[in-house]
Amino acid sequence: MAKKIFKVFLRAFVSLWQDAFMTEFETCKNIIARSQRFVLTTHVNPDADGLGSELALARYLQRKGKDVHILNHSSTPWNCEFLDSEQKIIQFNPERDAAFILNADAIVVLDTNSPDRLESLKPFVLQSSATKICIDHHLDKAEFANPYIIDEASAATGEILYRLFRFLDEKAIDKEIAVPLYAAIMTDTGSFRFPKTNSELHKIIAHLLEAGADPVEIYQQVYEQSSSNRVHLLGKALSTLEVVHDGKVACMTVTWEMFKETKTSEEDTDNFITHTMGIRGVQIGLLVTELADGVKISLRSKGDIPVHKLAQEFGGNGHKNAAGARVQQGTLSDVIQQVLERSKHYII
């Protein structure tokens, strides 16, 4: 009985939400029906939301008998490899793979709405005459696709895809699709504690668990497989922590030297920024990372502080409470000084 009531409730909720995107979902349905060759892609340095969304959609489309290629600029980070046991995701090689993009009937860009973030795929995606679908939850979209399914209120691209699947086929969500969608939503909500985590999202999660996603297993795969090198890198990064502007801005730094000393790389800094936000009174957290080709700024904030605007000042973008930018010019200390100076204008 309780299960029945739950299902009725879930259906009512899903149909309510779908109203907002009904036209786009309908368009998607038609594009899927008339297209055979699909390319799916996501942003540079993909996370579990981008990758999980690609894999869930690829599995859905393959079941429909479609030819699907997942092409990404970057390789898959080690903690997401478990999602792709069939090694469906290919790191893009222009000479070998460009034809897939140019000859595709439809290209689906997931978890970003900016062709710039596709890096080496960008010119081919823009040049291709394929129908371009963009499914994302970031602010300030660039013009390149039609249709857009962009919902800034969604916690993850995986959440939007869940709703699309429910629209396309009531029974689409099985274990193969539930696992990558769960990983997508778990990571983009900071394990269900970021602001967009609400009761509706938990209802989706309940359905994903019923469909076979194992929350213990997925958490362990994503977050409990660190190398000791990574923990040593964290130790070095934590030792740089400084709190400025009356305790409202916390900043951590990772230098190129630290990567060399600990035999680690950029992907090992994932989630380091959480430590800046754990300090009482901090409104903005910064992680500034020195890379081979520039400096990466990661930003987090609490409440109404729009750090994506701060990121935009440095050529980046993101969400209100989580954003980032990559700066090619200036030394590490220049960038730290500039971002600390600009952050002063955002604190309350």
Can you give the binding site for Mn ion, defined by CB under 5 A? 49, 111, 157, 188
Q: Which is nearer to Mn ion, 49 or 270 (CB)?
A: 49
E strands, the chain, are 37-42, 67-72, 89-91, 106-110, 131-136, 148-150, 242-244, 249-254, 284-291, 294-301, 317-318, 322-327
Q: Cα–Cα distance between 169 and 221 in angstroms, integer?
A: 29
Using the minimum distance from each CB to Mn ion, give the nearer residue, 186 or 297: 186
* Min dist. Cβ of residue 226 to Mn ion (A): 22
Choice between 195 and 240, CB closer to Mn ion: 195
Name the residue nearer to Mn ion (CB basis): 161 or 251.
Answer: 161
3-class secondary-structure state, position 317: strand
Q: What are phi and psi of 294, to 5 degrees?
A: 140, -160
Q: Which of 179, 217, 213, 185 is nearest to 201 (CA)?
A: 185
Smallest distance from Mn ion to CB 298, Å: 14
Q: Are 71 and 97 in contact (CB under 8 A)?
A: yes
Residue facing Mn ion at closest CB distance: 49
CB of 270 to Mn ion, least distance (A): 13
Q: Which residues are CB-neighbours of 88 under 8 A, at least 6 positions away? A: 55, 58, 68, 70
* Nearest C-alpha neighbor of 338 from the set 316, 313, 302, 304: 313
Closest distance to Mn ion from the beta carbon of 137 (Å): 6
Question: How near is the Cβ of 111 to Mn ion at its closest, in Å?
Answer: 4
Closer CB to Mn ion, residue 157 or residue 262?
157
The CA-atom distances, in angstroms, between 62 and each of 67, 69, 144 are 7, 10, 25
- Give the nearest distance from C-beta 194 to Mn ion in angstroms: 11
CA dist., res. 96 & res. 99, Å (int):
7
Cα(185)–Cα(156) distance, rounded to whole angstroms?
5
Give CA angle at 270 (265, 271), nearest 5°.
Answer: 150
Residue 49 vs 290, nearer CB to Mn ion: 49
**138/166 with CB nearer Mn ion:** 138
Shortest distance in whole angstroms from residue 10 CB to Mn ion: 23
